[in-house]
Amino acid sequence: MAKKPSKRLKPVLPSLKEKKRYLVFEIISKSKIKQAAKLPEIFLKAVKNFIGELGTAGMGFRYLKENYTADMQRGMIRVNHNYVNELKSSLALIKEIERQPAIVKSVGVSGIIKKAKQKYLKEGEK
């Protein structure tokens, strides 16, 4: 009796997986941002304006909304390790959020979410 070939895919080798970085940003403005739900589309628009559709696709941009702290106005974005500098540059070009002047500052970059939270999203640090 012939053995049936299995239909399971082989796992991707770690060396072939996308290498991710987690960039922590801070929004500096005169008043707090009220609608944090609109931040991902503002950031994505800035990235598309800076590096275009193709660059944005290769970037692997993902806004991590569960890591946004409204009181510190800090949050986290996941990005491919080759595009960290492009992301920093495009965020620096944002001039206003919710029709008020604002600056998006890069606080730090980490390869692990847990370390990024410990270093840059602590309540005591500012």
What is the pLDDT, as a whole number, of residue 122? Answer: 83
What is the pLDDT, as a whole number, of residue 53? Answer: 94
Residue 125: band (very low, low, confident or very high) from pLDDT cuts 50, 70, 90: low
Identify the structural domains of the chain with CATH numbers, from first to last: 18-120 (3.30.70.3250)
Q: Is the dihedral of CA 28, 31, 36, 41 positive or negative?
A: negative
Mean pLDDT, rounded, of the chain: 91
What is the pLDDT, as a whole number, of residue 34? Answer: 84
Phi and psi dihedrals of 36, rounded to 5?
-70, -15
Residue 98: band (very low, low, confident or very high) from pLDDT cuts 50, 70, 90: confident
